[in-house]
Amino acid sequence: MKARVLLLFAVLLVVLSSPTVLADWEISKNVTHRSTISLRGYMDEIFIYQTEEGLAGSKLVYGSRGSGTATRTVTSYVDECEIYFNIQGEFDYHPYEPQTSENDLRGALRAKNREVGTIISENYSEMAYLIEEPVSSQNDDGLPVYEISSRQRGTVWLGTW
C-alpha cells in the first residue's frame, strides 16, 4: 500500500516539476521562415503566428490582398518565448485583368423532375467547346435514369441532393 502511494506521488512530482509545463513547446524548438515574392497580378495572403494558445503569449497577424505589382520579403523567427517578424515590400496598385480567350463565357442549366420524369436542359457554348447531354430514359420500374457526361476546359460544379 505504501509503495503504491509513494509511486503515484513520485509520478505526480515528476509531472509537476517537469520543465515542459503545458504552455511550453515540447517538440518544436523554433520556426524560421523567409519568403520573397515578386508579383504582377493579384495576391491574397495571410500569416498568423503565436507562441501560446488562447489569451496568452504573443500573437501576430499579417496580411495583404489586392492587385498590382508587389515585391515583398517576409522574415520571421518564432520560439516559445518570442516572435521576430520583418516585412519589407513595395506595393504598386494597378488593376489586374487576366488574359481571356474570345470564348470565355459558358453557361449550362439543367432542371429535373424525377417524379414526372421530365428533363429540361439548356447550355450555351461557343466554338470548340462541348457539353454532351444524353437523353434520359426509364428503367424497368418506370423510373427515370439520368447520366451526365461532359467534357470542357474550365471549372465544373457538380451537385447532388
Q: Which residues bind other proteins (CB under 8 A)?
A: 25-53, 67, 76-78, 96, 98, 153
For the bound state, the minimum distance from the C-beta of residue 154 to other proteins, rounded and expressed in Å, comes to: 9
For the bound state, the minimum distance from the C-beta of residue 5 to other proteins, rounded and expressed in Å, comes to: 22
For the bound state, the minimum distance from the C-beta of residue 149 to other proteins, rounded and expressed in Å, comes to: 19
Nearest to 125 by CA among 142, 150, 160, 92: 150
Nearer to other proteins, 60 or 108 (CB): 60
Nearer to other proteins, 60 or 119 (CB): 60
Nearer to other proteins, 76 or 131 (CB): 76
- H or E, element range at 13: helix 2-17
- State the Cα–Cα distance between residues 52 and 132, nearest whole angstrom: 54
Nearer to other proteins, 17 or 100 (CB): 100
11, three cell numbers: 509520478
Phi then psi for residue 17, to 5 deg, are -90, 0
3-state SS assignment for residue 143: coil
Nearer to other proteins, 82 or 122 (CB): 82
For the bound state, the minimum distance from the C-beta of residue 98 to other proteins, rounded and expressed in Å, comes to: 7
- H or E, element range at 7: helix 2-17
Nearest to 61 by CA among 45, 73, 72, 77: 45
For the bound state, the minimum distance from the C-beta of residue 49 to other proteins, rounded and expressed in Å, comes to: 5
114, three cell numbers: 424525377
